């Protein structure tokens, strides 16, 4: 499992904006990399809209936001358009990036066990190292929590 101080695993994923986003292209910026289970669901929408609304404050702190889920690019496009999201959503359909960050694993819902996204966020510093790792995220307050952590 990835820990604070580790070098963040590099990746290249397709985005809802028709481009491939590479972590290595963002050196010199703080990257808020958040993993969420599914587009346009209640918790995921609250979390995404929280980051959308916090973007001016995040950008003022030299930070960019990248949302990652196993949903395909077309689903991300619809989600972005519906909620006017102002940051890229990345398609990790084979969940290789989620696995590299420890954001993929066993879950339980309604007594059923399955593998899926473990809602988590990683703040990657300008030097490419993990500054903060948030696990078991509460979607509604998460953007504010991340913003406060950038100042702290």
The enclosing H or E element of 15 equals none
- Count how many Cα atoms sit within 13 Å of the Cα of residue 79 in the half-sphere of its side chain: 31
CA angle 49, 75, 80 (to 5 degrees): 30
44 carries an active-site annotation: yes
Q: Per DSSP, what are the bridge partners of residue 121?
A: 34, 134
Note whether 97 and 13 are within 8 A (CB).
Answer: yes
Q: Which of 21, 32, 44, 117 is catalytic?
A: 44
Length of the chain as a residue count: 152
Annotated catalytic residues are: 44
């Amino acid at each position: 499992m990835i820990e604070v101080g580790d070098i963040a695993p590099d990746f290249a994923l397709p985005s809802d904006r028709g481009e491939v986003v590479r972590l290595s292209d963002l050196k010199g910026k703080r990257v808020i990399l958040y993993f969420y289970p599914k587009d346009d669901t209640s918790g995921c929408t609250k979390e995404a809209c929280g980051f959308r609304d916090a973007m001016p404050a995040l950008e003022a702190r030299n930070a960019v936001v990248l949302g990652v889920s196993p949903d395909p690019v077309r689903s991300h496009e619809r989600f972005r358009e519906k909620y006017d999201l102002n940051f890229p959503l990345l398609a990790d359909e084979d969940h290789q990036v989620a696995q590299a960050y420890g954001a993929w694993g066993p879950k339980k819902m309604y007594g059923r066990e399955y593998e899926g996204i473990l809602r988590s966020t990683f703040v990657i510093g300008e030097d490419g190292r993990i500054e903060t790792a948030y696990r078991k995220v509460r979607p509604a307050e998460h953007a504010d929590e991340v913003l406060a952590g950038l100042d702290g």
